[in-house]
Structure 1
C-alpha cells in the first residue's frame, strides 16, 4: 500500500490535505496510522499551518493534541498564528493563543514577514486584533524591512475600525516608517480617505488636549451638561468619536452607560460612529446600553441603525450579553 506520509511533487501529504479541508475523521485515521503531524511540504508548511490558515479549528485542536509543533514556521518565517490571524479566523486564533502560541510568531527570516497583529491589521480583522492585543501583542511593533507599524498596515488597507481599535490601545500615529511616512501619510498615499480623515481628526484632538482650557467631552457627559457637550461638538466635531485615554470608551458609550438619552441623541446627530468598539472587550455602545439595562437607549440606538449582530472580541453579541445577565430583561431580549 501507499505509505501514510507519501508526498507529491510539492511535498503535500494526505494529512496536509485533510487539515486544509477540515476532514477531521480522515485526519484522525491518518494520525492513527502514524502519519507525521509535523511533516512539511516543500514550502515548509505543516498540517497545522494548513488547518490554521483555513480556520479548521477542530483539526487544529486534533493536531495540537497529537504533538504538532505550535510555533513552527514556514521557509518564509510565517507560523500558524499569523496565518489564522491574516484570514480573520477568530476561534482558531484564540485556540492557538490558549495553547501558548508566540504572539510574535515569526523567525523573521526576511524583514517583510508579518506578525500576527500585522496580518490582522492589514486585512482589517477587528476581533482578531482585539484578541491579540489582549494577549500582549506590541501595538507599535514594525516590519524590519519597511518600518511599517500595525496602524500603517490598517491604514494602507483602508480599515477604519481596525485603525480605531489600534489607536484605542495607544498606537502611535506619529510613528514614521523607513520612508518618513506616518499612518496618515500612508492612508493618503493609498487613497484611503476615510481612514485619513480619522487620523487627521486624531491629530486635531491631540492639539485640543494640549490646550489647558479645553473642556473634556467625557467630563461634560458625566456632569449631564448637554449645553457643554453641544459646544464641544460644535468646536471640534471629530471628538464625538474620541477614545477615553483610560477607559477606552467613546463619548457615545459613556452616555449610553449613564442612561443620558439626550447626550446619546446629540452624539448620534453629530455623526458619532455607532459601531466603534471599546478597547478592553470590543463592546459597542449598544452592548454597553444592554449591559446597564438602558432600555430606551437600546431602542434608540437600534432605531438609529446600530448593528445588533456586531461581535465583541470574544464573539458575543448584544443579545448574548442580555441573555448572560442574571436577571435578563425580557423586553430587552425581545428587542434584540
Structure 2
C-alpha cells in the first residue's frame, strides 16, 4: 500500500514523501509501538535515513477524482507502515534505558528532532518523535481530527440532524470544511440527495460553488456516479457547463464515467456538447474511446461535431481506430466522419490502426475505401508500418490497396523494414506481391545508417538471417548494390554459409570500399583470420597478385603509423601516384591483430600467383618466425612449372568449367587447389 510519513524539524518545517510499507501490515498499533520503543532503546545511534518510522517525506497531491471530505481526506498526508521485518510479538516492553519515551508529546513548535507519522496494519494512525541521533522521544496513536457535526450528519445521511443544524440561527453554510469544500459538496459526494435538497433550500446560492480543484457540486456528484444528486442539482438550477481546473465539464465527466443516464440528464438540461477539455478532447471523443455507441448517438443528436480534434489534431474517428473500438468506428463512419482525416503528424486512422495491430479496424477501413497511400510524418505508409510491426494479416490486406509507385516515392520499401526486423513471413509476402527486391533507400534515409546501407539484402545479411538472404537472392537481389558490400559484412561475421551463398549469386569478391580504398580486394581484410574462407574467396576468383604489389618493393618501408602525407614527402611522383591506390596488402597484414597469421596467409596466396617478389615488409614477417622459412623458399624465383601451368589453365578454362575437362580426378583437384590439407569449408 502506498503511504507516507511526515517529518518535522525545528520549528515547524514539514517535508513529506511516500514509500511502500507493507511488511508490517499484520501488526497491531500496540505491537508496532512496542517494536519502535525497543529498537530505539537498543541502538541510540540508529540511522534516521533508514528508520522505519523516521522518514523525511514530500507531500502528495491527491488525485483530482478523490475529494473525500471527511477528516481522513482533509489531512492530505496519507500515513505509512514500517519497512523493517517484524519480530515475534511480545506482551510488554522492558525498558533498559534510564530515559524511556516521555508520556506526553513534545511541543511541535519547539521540538528540534523529527516527527514521523505512519499507519499500523489495523489502520491506526501513529506519530513518533525522535531526536536527530535517532533515539525515540515519544510514540503514540495520532489524535484524530474532529469532523464538523454538520458534515458528519451529511455523511451519515441523518436528514433530521441536518435540518436541525441548518435551522440554527447563525449557521453559515458557506463556511468550508476544507479549502472550497462546502456542505453541498459533502452531500453530492456521498449521494445524500435528501440532505442536498435541505441544504439547497436553506442556501440556494451555494449550488455552483467550486472546490479548491474547481469542481462544482454537480461535477462532484457526477465523478461519484451519484445520479439522484445530479438530478436534484440540475432541478435546482445547477449550471451544467461549469468546468474544473482541467476544463472538464460535467458532460465530459459523465462520458468518462460511461454513464448514459447522466449524459441524458445533462443534455436534457442544455449542457454544451462541443466544449473541449484542457487536452482538447470533447465529450464525443471520450465516449468513442469507451466504445459507447448509445452515448455517441445522444451526443450526435444534441449537436456534437464529428470533425473537432484535440490539440494533437486527433479526431474522434482517429481515436476509435487508435484504440481498436470497432462499434464506435462503425457509428462514426455511418454518420459521415472523414475516413481520411489526418492528425497533426499526418497519420490517418488507417495508419494508426495498422501501427497498433487492430486487424478488424484495418479491414473495416479498407472496406470503406480508406486511402492507404497517405504517409505519416516520417513519410511511411500504413503498409510500411505494418511490415515494421510484423502484422502478417494487416500486410496482406494492405498490399492490394497500396501503390508501388507511391512506395517508391517514400524512399524506402516495406521490404527494408521487414528485413530489418527479421519478419520473414512478411518478407516472403512482399516478394510474392512483386515488390522490388533491389529497391534502395533514398540518400536521406541511407544517411541515417553509419554504413550507408541501401538494400533489403544488406539488412538480412547483417542480421545473419540466412532464410531471408535465401529468399532475396532467389528473387533476384543484386549483392553488389551497397557501398559496403553484403559480402564484406558476411566475411566480417565469419559466416561462411552466407559468403558462399552470396558468391554463388554473383557477389563481387574483388570489390573495394570507396570511402576506404585498398590496393587489394577489400573483403580480404575481414577474412584473413579465417583461412578456409580466405581460400574459398581465392578459389572463386579473388585476385591474389594485387596482394604482392608494393610501391616500396625491396626498399625499407616507412613506419606503419606514418601518415600518408608524411610518406608522400619522401617519395617521388610515381610512388605518390601508386599510394593513391589505397592501403597496400603488406600494410594491412602488418596490423598487430593480423600479423601473427602472416606466414599462413602468404603461403595460401602463393598458390594463386606466378612470379612475384616479396617486398621487404613481407620478408620481415617471414623472417620473424623460423618455421616460415619454407614459405620464403616457396616464393623464390623461378616458380615451379606445374604452378605456372595451373594458373594458365585456370585463366583459359575458368574454374566453373574445370570438372567438364577430360582429366583425371587428381589433376582436377590440383587445378582446384585441393591438393593441400585445408579444413573443410
Query: Shared fold by TM > 0.5?
Result: yes
The change in CA–CA distance for 1:192 and 1:66 in structure 2 (over 3 A counts) is same
1:54, distance to aligned residue in structure 2 (A): 2.5
Q: Distance in 2 between matches of 1:101 and 1:20?
A: 22
User: What is the aligned counterpart of 1:180 among 376, 379, 395?
Assistant: 379
Aligned partners of 2:211, 2:351: CA distance in 1, in Å? 40
**2:388 & 2:229 partners in 1: Cα distance?**
48
CA gap 1:184/1:10 in 2 versus in 1, 3 angstroms: farther
In 2, the alpha carbon distance for the partners of 1:84 and 1:198 equals 29
Q: Equivalent residue for 1:307?
A: none
How far apart are 1:128 and its partner, in Å?
Answer: 0.5
Partner of 1:115: 315
Q: Is the 8 A contact 2:243 2:249 kept in 1?
A: yes
Match of 2:367 in 1: 168
Match of 1:48 among 232, 251, 261: 251
Residue 228 of structure 2 aligns with which residue?
25
Alignment TM-score, normalising by the size of structure 2: 0.28
Aligned to 1:125: 325
Would you say 1:78 and 2:278 are equivalent positions?
no
Closer/same/farther in 2, CA of residues 191 and 14 from structure 1, 3 Å limit: farther
1:159, distance to aligned residue in structure 2 (A): 0.8
Q: Name the SS for the 1:19 alignment partner.
A: helix
Give 1:11's aligned residue.
214
2:395 matches 1:196:
yes
The alignment of Structure 1 onto Structure 2 pairs a total of residues equal to: 204
In 2, are the aligned partners of 1:70 and 1:101 still within 8 Å (CA)?
yes
Q: After TM superposition, give the deviation of residue 89 of structure 1 in Å.
A: 1.3
Of the three residues 62, 67, 91, the one matched with 2:265 is 62
Q: 2:347 & 2:218 partners in 1: Cα distance?
A: 36
Tell me if structure 1 keeps the 8 A contact 2:288–2:328. Answer: yes
Alignment of 1:225-240 (within 5 A): none
SS in 1 for 2:384: helix
8 Å CA contact 1:118–1:150 kept in 2: the answer is yes
**Distance in 2, Cα, partners of 1:113 & 1:94:** 23
Q: Residue 88 in 1 paired to residue 299 in 2?
A: no
SS of the residue corresponding to residue 10 of structure 1 reads coil
The answer on whether the counterparts of 1:54 and 1:87 sit within 8 Å (CA) in structure 2 is no
- Alpha-carbon displacement from aligned partner over 1:312-331 (angstroms, at most 9, x marks no partner): xxxxxxxxxxxxxxxxxxxx
- Secondary structure of the residue aligned to 2:314 is coil
Note if 1:134 corresponds to 2:334. Answer: yes
Q: CA RMSD in A?
A: 2.4
Rate the CA distance shift 1:147–1:84 in 2: closer, same or farther, 3 A: same
User: What stretches of structure 2 of length at least 5 have no aligned partner?
Assistant: 1-172, 174-181, 183-205, 404-431, 434-681
1:193 is displaced (CA, Å) by: 4.0
Q: Retained in 1: the 8 A contact 2:313–2:342? A: no
Q: Deviations over 1:188-231 (max 9, x none)?
A: 33444442333235449xxxxxxxxxxxxxxxxxxxxxxxxxxx
Equivalent residues of 1:44, 1:75 under 8 A apart: yes
Q: Deviation digits for residues 280-326 of structure 1, max 9, x if unmatched?
A: xxxxxxxxxxxxxxxxxxxxxxxxxxxxxxxxxxxxxxxxxxxxxxx
How far apart, CA to CA, are the structure 2 residues paired with 1:130 and 1:172?
Answer: 17
Q: Which has the higher strand share?
A: 2
